[in-house]
């Protein structure tokens, strides 16, 4: 398990254990099964399950199923699948709020008998109007002082089905002038004459969230009730309800703690709006790869590790903020860069005839030369190849470095070619380019990817982009007006033949284009369908009309980014423009970068830690000056990762230790036993152990639920603390699952 970053929730739990306020930490994740989980829920899942695991406790999964009109068993199944895919499990602790309906009903009667609840016959509109405002007190209901016996009889009649929906409600009797609006005689029960997906047709009254929530926590023995900040005002009511009940009937007295929810730019996470997207056909269901649902991210090709890493980097605090999705994409790139083999695929082909070229088969490496792994694939080459149309310009604009009249370029893995001529088609567009093969003494202006025209295979590629164009959809107008009409473009691309062997659910990097995922739901053996998960670089200023970001988008971005001379120098050293922008604007971070690269570490590797990890550590530990290490140690850490001695996951653990204890990265790895696990026999035994612990999931996988493959890999990686080679683990899991 990764060394956890510090946050106020972790400190509260640690203090409670140390001071004896609890002996076993019990948390819960309580989703309402009225839709699919979204990326915001991922933060709550990682926090609840992560805190419990760190302190040797447990985390329950509880379905907050108090509204049968909007809930469905299909949502229950989807929620469970999402949590398992993220790498977490609740074991035997699957609960439902509806499991406690009988107890809640009896307790509601207790409050009626003690004069703390009453049946109100006002309409919903009257109740809303009479609640008052933050500046004026509410108006008591005319039914507020009705006799307890009368309210008891009516409450039983409500549950028998004697009244239609909305005829009356049960309310707590607290204080209609209370400054906290939640305490102004809150609603406890409403009539819904419909059966329940889990509880059957026993009930005609259903509890509201505020009445069911705290009591469910208490009955399950929850010690730390973690929820987002919008429930801050509910805490007083949460405690009031618990105070009204006999202490000997409550197995525990939980406490509620609030943290800031995860807000993501260019995204909507309101269940109401997500329902509308699905219902109105703007997307292809809840798991559409453009949706911010966990199922959507999974189907698009995001990895559980990248989402967990993203949540960790965002951190846990009470300060609300909106996160740029570029951070999530950066986490995914980092995860896939070391695991996705490279291939060449052309999305918008332009034919190029090569004078002097002969047909042959190249042995092209599947991994970059600095990757700690070996492997290659055969790539046909011949006298006619296809390149990206955006890689050629008859009249190149300023800054264009690719093929043009008078230019020499390198064809990836194949050698140098020089422009000779070009032909125009009937529409006036370039139809063909002619080049000649030249020797290596020439200096190329760029390197292009390509495929051999004679051997190219057609593959379907889904090019996904953000679903919304505005960073705050719906804030200024109807959210539908902010939809991106180019959020999906289906392309028939030309690919090297090796891509046909790509396994379902695997990832590939299309060189110079991006990371792609073989979607199991649409692919068949030998006929892969690729989803673009993320381009190789973030391009904030891309045009919605531009179908393919790479390589055109990178250079277009350079023309609109305001890089200073310092920033341009950083780009020349291999940094992305986003990284250069951060470092040119922050002298303190740039000083760390300079110190780290002075050790000889690769600048692009160091930049990832300086730009993303250092600010997070500074926030958690009170500033950069509070960290117990410096740029030299950061450079040494980057060297360990670059040489393959440790993985990026282990590097995060080392960073967490450096932040509080200092020391040498290499010494920490050795002393803490953090070296990567590369013993295939040991990993195979661990894979067997994981599969043996989950026979139902193994059976489900063999029955067609191939998405569980990621769950098995995640369990192995979790048990090794991220020290195993994920590629090797995937291979071993596949081998173990295949009869």
pLDDT in tens, 140-165: 999 999 999 999 999 999 999 999 99
Separation between Cα atoms, residue 114 and residue 299, nearest integer Å: 53
- Out of 10, 131, 182, 271, which one is annotated catalytic? 271
pLDDT confidence tier of residue 113, bands split at 50, 70 and 90: very high
Lowest mean pLDDT across 346-355, 433-442, 610-619, 662-671:
610-619
- Amino acid 599: pLDDT: 86
Q: Tokens 């409550």 sit at which residue?
A: 250
Q: What is the 3-state secondary structure (H, E, C) of 547-603?
A: CCCCCHHHHHHHHHCCCCHHHHHHHHCCCCHHHHHHHHHCHHHHHHHHHHHCCCCCH
Residues 87-111 have a mean pLDDT of 96
pTM over 0.85: no
Separation between Cα atoms, residue 672 and residue 84, nearest integer Å: 29
- Reply yes or no on whether the pLDDT at 623 is more than 80: no
The yes-or-no answer on residue 511 being catalytic is: no
Query: Under 8 Å CB-to-CB from 120, ≥6 apart: which residues?
Result: 127, 141, 143, 144, 168, 169, 170, 171, 185
- Three-state secondary structure call for residue 424: strand
**What would the two tokens of residue 702 be?**
């063999």
Q: What is the pLDDT of residues 434-487, one digit of tens each?
A: 999 998 888 899 999 999 999 999 999 999 999 999 999 988 889 999 999 999
What angle in degrees, to the nearest 10, is found between the helix axes of 695-702 and 726-737? Answer: 80
- Amino acid 711: pLDDT: 67
pLDDT confidence tier of residue 572, bands split at 50, 70 and 90: confident
Q: What is the pLDDT of residues 248-267, one digit of tens each?
A: 999 999 999 999 999 999 99
What angle in degrees, to the nearest 10, is found between the helix axes of 631-642 and 587-597? Answer: 60
Range 439-444 contact pairs with CB under 8 angstroms and sequence separation of 24 or more: 440/415, 440/416, 442/408, 442/416, 442/418, 443/408, 444/408, 444/409, 444/410, 444/416
pLDDT confidence tier of residue 652, bands split at 50, 70 and 90: confident
**What would the two tokens of residue 625 be?**
């000056």
pLDDT confidence tier of residue 77, bands split at 50, 70 and 90: very high
Report, in this order, helix, strand and coil percent for the chain, each rounded to 5: 40, 20, 40
**What would the two tokens of residue 394 be?**
């008859």
pLDDT confidence tier of residue 548, bands split at 50, 70 and 90: very low
- Amino acid 6: pLDDT: 61
Nearest to 423, CA basis, from 357, 355, 353: 353
Separation between Cα atoms, residue 654 and residue 674, nearest integer Å: 8
The yes-or-no answer on residue 32 being catalytic is: yes
- Out of 32, 236, 602, 731, which one is annotated catalytic? 32
Separation between Cα atoms, residue 456 and residue 447, nearest integer Å: 20
- Out of 103, 192, 253, 261, which one is annotated catalytic? 261
- Amino acid 585: pLDDT: 78
Q: What is the mean pLDDT of the chain?
A: 88
604-624 exposure pattern, b = at least 16 Cβ within 10 A, e = fewer: bbbbbbbbbbbebbbebbeee
- Reply yes or no on whether the pLDDT at 632 is more than 50: yes
What's the Cα-to-Cα distance from 350 to each of 250, 334, 353, rounded to whole Å? 72, 31, 10
Q: What is the pLDDT of residues 357-371, one digit of tens each?
A: 999 999 999 987 666
- Three-state secondary structure call for residue 362: strand
The yes-or-no answer on residue 202 being catalytic is: no
Task: Please say whether the dihedral angle defined by the alpha carbons of residues 560, 563, 564 and 569, taken in this order, is positive or negative.
Answer: negative
For the chain, percent of residues with pLDDT exceeding 70: 92
């Amino acid at each position: 398990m990764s060394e956890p970053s510090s946050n106020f929730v972790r400190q509260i739990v640690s203090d409670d254990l140390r001071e004896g306020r609890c002996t076993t930490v019990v948390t819960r994740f309580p989703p309402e099964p009225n839709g699919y989980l979204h990326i915001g829920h991922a933060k709550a899942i990682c926090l609840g399950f992560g805190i419990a695991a760190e302190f040797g406790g447990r985390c329950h999964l509880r379905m907050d199923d108090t509204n049968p009109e909007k809930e469905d068993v299909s949502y229950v199944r989807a929620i469970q699948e999402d949590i398992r895919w993220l790498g977490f499990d609740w074991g035997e602790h699957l609960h439902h709020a509806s499991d406690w309906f009988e107890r809640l009903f009896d307790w509601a009667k207790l409050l009626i008998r003690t004069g703390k609840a009453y049946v109100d016959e006002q309409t919903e509109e009257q109740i809303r109007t009479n609640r008052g405002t933050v500046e004026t007190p509410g108006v008591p209901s005319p039914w507020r002082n009705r006799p307890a016996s009368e309210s008891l009889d009516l409450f039983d009649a409500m549950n028998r089905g004697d009244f239609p929906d909305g005829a009356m409600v049960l309310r707590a009797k607290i204080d209609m002038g209370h400054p906290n609006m939640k305490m102004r005689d809150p609603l406890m029960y409403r009539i819904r004459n419909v059966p329940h997906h889990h509880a059957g047709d026993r009930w005609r009254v259903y509890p509201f969230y505020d009445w069911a929530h705290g009591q469910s926590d208490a009955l399950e023995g929850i010690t730390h009730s973690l929820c987002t900040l919008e429930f801050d005002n509910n805490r007083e009511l949460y405690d009031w309800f618990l105070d009204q009940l006999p202490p000997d009937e409550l197995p525990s007295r939980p406490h509620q703690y609030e943290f800031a929810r995860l807000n993501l730019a260019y995204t909507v996470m309101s269940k109401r709006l997500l329902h509308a997207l699905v219902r109105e056909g703007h997307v292809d269901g809840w798991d559409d790869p453009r949706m911010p649902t966990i199922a959507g991210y999974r189907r698009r090709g995001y990895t559980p590790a990248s989402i967990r890493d993203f949540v960790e980097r965002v951190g846990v605090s009470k300060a609300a903020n909106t996160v740029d999705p570029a951070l999530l994409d950066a986490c995914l790139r980092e995860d896939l860069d070391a695991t996705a083999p490279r291939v060449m695929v052309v999305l918008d082909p332009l034919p190029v005839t090569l004078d002097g070229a002969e047909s042959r088969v190249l042995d092209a490496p599947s991994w970059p030369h600095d990757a700690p792994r070996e492997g290659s694939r055969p790539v046909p080459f011949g006298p006619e190849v296809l390149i990206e149309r955006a890689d050629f310009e008859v009249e190149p604009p300023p800054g264009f470095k690719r093929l043009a009249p008078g230019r020499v370029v390198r064809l990836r893995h194949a050698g140098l070619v020089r422009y000779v001529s070009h032909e125009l088609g009937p529409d006036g567009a370039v139809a063909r380019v002619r080049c000649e093969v030249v020797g290596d003494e020439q200096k190329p202006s760029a390197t292009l990817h390509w495929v051999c025209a004679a051997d190219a295979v057609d593959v379907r590629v889904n090019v996904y982009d953000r679903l919304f164009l505005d960073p705050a959809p719906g804030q200024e107008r109807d959210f539908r007006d902010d939809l991106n009409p180019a959020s999906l473009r289906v392309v028939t691309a030309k690919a090297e033949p090796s891509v046909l062997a790509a396994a379902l659910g695997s990832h590939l990097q299309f060189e110079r284009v991006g990371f792609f995922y073989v979607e199991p739901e649409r692919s068949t053996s030998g006929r892969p369908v690729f989803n673009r998960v993320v381009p190789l670089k973030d391009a904030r200023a891309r045009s919605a009309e531009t179908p393919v970001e790479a390589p055109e988008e990178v250079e277009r971005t350079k023309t609109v980014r305001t890089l200073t001379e310092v920033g341009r120098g950083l780009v020349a050293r291999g940094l992305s423009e986003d990284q250069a922008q951060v470092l040119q604007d922050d002298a303190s971070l740039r000083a760390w970068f300079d110190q780290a690269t002075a050790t000889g570490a690769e600048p692009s590797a160091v930049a990832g830690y300086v730009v993303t990890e250092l600010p997070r550590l500074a926030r958690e530990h009170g500033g950069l000056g509070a960290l117990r290490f410096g740029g030299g140690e950061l450079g040494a850490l980057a060297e360990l990762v670059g040489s393959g001695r440790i993985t990026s996951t282990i590097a995060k653990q080392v960073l967490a230790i450096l932040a509080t204890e200092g020391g040498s990265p290499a010494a920490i790895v050795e002393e803490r036993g953090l070296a990567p696990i590369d013993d295939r026999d040991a990993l195979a035994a661990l894979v067997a152990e994981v599969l043996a612990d989950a026979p139902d999931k193994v059976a489900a996988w063999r029955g067609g639920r191939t998405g569980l493959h990621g769950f098995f890999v995640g369990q192995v990686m979790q048990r090794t603390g991220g020290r195993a080679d994920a590629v090797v683990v995937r291979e071993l899991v596949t081998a173990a699952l295949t009869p």
